Structure 1
Amino acid sequence: MWRNIASNFLTLAIVLLIAAAAAVAWARQEFTGPGPSQVAQCVQVAPGASLNAVSQQLADQGAISNAYIFRAGADYMGKAGQLKFGSYLMQPGASMEDIIGTVTAGGPSTCGTEVIVLVGVRETNILLRDMNSETGAYEEMARYNPASAERPEVIAEAEDRDDLRLRVVMAEGVTSWQVVEALKAAEFLSGEVSELPAEGSLAPDTYAVNKGDDRAAILAEMARRQEAILAAEWEARPFGLPYDNPQEALIMASIVEKETGVASERPQVASVFVNRLERGMRLETDPTVIYGVTGGQGILDRGLRRSELNTVTPYNTYRVDGLPPTPIANPGRAAIHAALNPDTTDYIFFVADGTGGHAFSRTLEEHNAAVARWREIERQRGEPADSPVQGDG
């Protein structure tokens, strides 16, 4: 009898071991294999959320097949206590292992509802958009210009949410005044700005911010990034450029930034102005004159007047020699690089060519022909033909 009992016990133990091994293999497959979701999903980890809450949330939204296996896998990987607040886009079929790796690695949020302060050259807009989890693309929900419209209720409601993603996107070529005004208009930020940052000192970039962040601290981070960019580009510059210090290179970069919207042209435009400086010619560039008129506060939504071109100011490069006293905008990294790495050319003139770019010339004769072509394009478009010509010396 005892022999039969022992035999039965051994058989049961073997069955249990086989079942346990099968269960472990199944759990491992569930954990590492493709997940159940057939569409992209936005996984949101709230501040202070527990692993239990997140695992149940993921199971409820169909991103994982089993909350217990998810928790056990996180424990096994040693990441149970490493959840990072944020919103993360998971691709279709993402495994539990993939999801744990993402939500514990942290980094910028990649999905969910976001409010973006778009600081543009012509205007600032505050934009509300949300991720469409089925397409993986952001869709705009609302937009407004705080200088001319009241904040829509839908944006005000969104800004009260704790899981909201907030960003400030600063375009290349905006002025420091425009940046400060944009930050003032962002009602989810706090703090006063007591002093306008020096022109050119802020780095155009995307800045992730949090509700209640201090505006002055954001400006300080913008300045830190620009200082680092300028220092690196100055250190790597070639010899022989007509700049006595990094500030002069920054001034040139701001002129290059304002003179062309075509990225590939920046080194050519820089070469024109470097050639002019080296030959003792005046820069004769409209954007510096415009800055002298506006002081960087907004845009001049009209052509320059002849009287403005004739008035002697530190920024009228038609009437004064050399560079203006300060930058005329905040240039991006590419413009700074172009100012410190201009193309090697004989160009000393350039004018619009009707395609959005410019025609570059080595002689006044070539330039006059290019100007005539541009005037004809203006005539065909019905535009006034007596406006100043950029780069016309």
Structure 2
Amino acid sequence: MMSRRGCVLAVAVAAALLLALWSLLGGWYGSGPLEKDQNFIVPNGASLSAVAERLEQKGVIRSAGGFVLRARIFGGGGGIKAGEFAIPAHASPARVLAIISSDEVIRRFVTIPEGMPAIMVQERLMAVPQLTGEVAAPEEGSVLPDSYAFESREPREAVLRRMQAAMSRTLKELWARRAPNLVVKTPEQALVLASIVEKETGKPAERRMVAGLYSNRLRTGMLLQADPTIIYPITRGKPLGRRILQSEIQAVNDYNTYTMVGLPRYPITNPGKASIEAVLHPADTDALYMVADGTGGHAFASTLEQHNANVAKWFAIRRERGEL
């Protein structure tokens, strides 16, 4: 039979064990010291110990050593993921580990609109403060306009490579499903023509019609006479901000379709998927001419006589607006 002294000792040991267990549990599931919500970055390849040190430095947890110990006892001691995470105020260490071990990574996006030229893609990437490193203007036409997710502190060059890989993949897929008997004979030619279609119309419903018109001109050996091809060598795709000069219309270079037969040598912007599809599935039309119709779209014509009548209507509209 246990003596009184033995009973007292047993109770003391049990109490100490309970206190230790309570301390372990309380230090794991109790409120943390973080005063307000904070974003926290887990670097690629970081160990649990290294992350714990950073969490303590940021005031997210009280003790790096205590966090690692409890994580190994209660949380499996690993499985953390790289990325940026949102840590709520007073999050318990258990909650913190659950967050940085989950897929709750903060998603940030950079958007490249359809028709944004390469020089402006570079400017947009350089303007994102969460990205790192320098990036040069990409090759024109190499970027697929879209919204791209990125992680904080990710290199700009890595994001650009994803944009370019998306264009290469999309162009390959669309080319494989192209219509027969196209005037463009290679994916590269399709990309160049799509860049012109992208800049020539702001109306999605017109894309196939514009593609059909330019396909007809290419097929018959007519000059494309696309104004955006005059502007591109001057501004690299940025708005001109004034009327085109006669000397610019007559300029001979790799882009100006007023002084060359056929396609420009290179794209004049980054066309979107819809413009590429339009070029690969152009409208079945006999149109050879187009002029603005006053609504943001164009009036199309198959003869010069019809075109001249449309031009006269457009000039009348501009006079009514006080633009002439």
Give the TM-score normalised by structure 2. Answer: 0.68
Given the superposition, is the C-alpha separation of residues 311 and 381 from structure 1 closer, same or farther in structure 2, using an over 3 Å criterion? same
State the partner residue of 1:179: 121
Q: Tell me, yes or no, if structure 1 residue 168 matches structure 2 residue 110.
A: yes
Which structure dedicates a bigger proportion of its chain to helix? 2
Separation (CA, whole Å) in 1 of partners of 2:242 and 2:41: 49
Task: Give the C-alpha shift of residue 181 in structure 1.
Answer: 1.4
Once residues 275 and 106 of structure 1 are traced to their aligned partners in structure 2, the CA distance between those partners, rounded to angstroms, is 51
Structure 2 residue matching 1:190: 3-state secondary structure = coil
User: Is 1:326 aligned with 2:288?
Assistant: no
- Which stretches in structure 1 are left out of the alignment for 5+ residues? 1-43, 49-80, 89-103, 110-164, 385-393
Secondary structure class of the residue paired with 1:359: strand
Which residue does 2:62 correspond to in 1? none
Match of 1:218 in 2: 159
Q: Distance in 2 between matches of 1:320 and 1:283?
A: 8
The whole-number CA distance in structure 2 between the counterparts of 1:83 and 1:203 is 29
In the alignment, structure 1 residue 276 sits paired with structure 2 residue 214: no
> Which residues of 2 match residues 69-88 of structure 1 at below 5 A?
none
Alignment correspondent of 2:255: 315
1:107 & 1:262 partners in 2: Cα distance?
38
- For residues 358-380 of structure 1, give each alpha carbon's deviation from its aligned partner in whole angstroms, at most 9, with x where no partner exists: 11111111111110000011111
Displacement of 1:295: 2.7
SS in 1 for 2:277: helix
SS in 1 for 2:323: coil
Q: 2:182 pairs with 214, 221, 241, which one? A: 241
Equivalent in the alignment of 1:301: 241
Q: CA deviation at 1:254?
A: 0.3
Cα 1:87–1:191, aligned 2, differ >3 Å: closer, same or farther? closer
Cα distance in 1 for residues equivalent to 2:118 and 2:220: 32
Residue 255 (structure 1) aligns with: 196
Secondary structure of residue in 1 paired with 2:300? strand
- Give the greater-gyration-radius structure (CA): 2
Aligned pairs (5 A) from 1:336-375: 336-375=276-315
Alpha carbons 1:346, 1:362 under 8 Å: kept: yes
Question: Cα–Cα, structure 1 residues 83 and 178, in superposed 2: closer, same or farther, change >3 Å?
Answer: closer
C-alpha distance in 2, partners of 1:353/1:170? 28
Q: Which sections of structure 2, spanning at least 5 residues, go unmatched?
A: 1-37, 43-78, 87-100
Deviation at 1:307, TM superposition (A): 1.4
Contact 2:83 2:105 in 1 (8 A): no
Residue 87 of structure 1 deviates from its aligned partner by: 8.9
Q: 1:82, 1:187 → 2: CA distance? A: 25
Residue pair 2:84, 2:152 contacting (<8 A) in 1 also: no
Secondary structure of residue in 1 paired with 2:257: coil
How far is the alpha carbon of 1:311 from its aligned partner? 1.9
Cα distance in structure 2, aligned partners of 1:254 and 1:335: 7
CA displacement at 1:108 relative to structure 2? 8.3
Q: Secondary structure at the match of 1:368?
A: helix
Q: Within 2, Cα distance between the matches of 1:271 and 1:107? A: 47
Change in CA separation of 1:108 and 1:261 when aligned onto 2, cut-off 3 Å: farther
Q: Tell me what 1:391 maps to.
A: none
**How big is each residue's C-alpha offset from its partner over 1:58-93, in whole Å with a ceiling of 9 and x where there is no partner?**
xxxxxxxxxxxxxxxxxxxxxxx99998899xxxxx
Q: 1:295 to 1:86 in 2, by over 3 A?
A: closer
Question: Larger relative contact order (C-alpha < 8 A, sep ≥ 6)?
Answer: 2
Say whether the 8 Å CA contact 1:45–1:84 is kept in structure 2.
no
- By how many angstroms is 1:310 displaced? 1.6
Q: What residue identity is the alignment partner of 2:144?
A: A
SS at match of 2:148: strand
Question: Higher strand share goes to which structure?
Answer: 1
1:25-64 → structure 2 map (5 Å cutoff): none
1:368-383 equivalences under 5 Å are: 368-383=308-323
Return closer, same or farther for 1:382/1:253 CA change in 2, 3 Å cut-off: same
Q: Distance in 2 between matches of 1:332 and 1:108?
A: 29
SS of equivalent residue, structure 1 residue 360? strand
Percent identity, aligned pairs only, is 45
The 3 A distance-change label for structure 1 pair 343 and 105 is farther
2:279 and 2:170 map into 1 onto residues whose CA distance is: 13
4+ runs of 1 displaced by more than 3 Å?
Answer: 44-48, 81-88, 104-109
SS in 2 for 1:303: coil
User: Which string of whole-angstrom CA distances, capped at 9 and with x for unpartnered residues, describes residues 199-248 of structure 1?
Assistant: 00001000111211101111100000000110011111122111221110
Matched, 1:202 2:170: no
Residues 217, 224 of structure 2: 8 Å contact kept: yes
**Secondary structure of the corresponding residue to residue 347 of structure 1:** coil
Change (3 A) 1:208 1:224: same
Mapped partners of 1:264, 1:346: distance in 2: 17
Q: Any idea what SS the aligned residue of 1:251 has? A: helix
The alignment partner of 2:141 has SS state of coil
Distance 2:168 2:263 in 1: 20
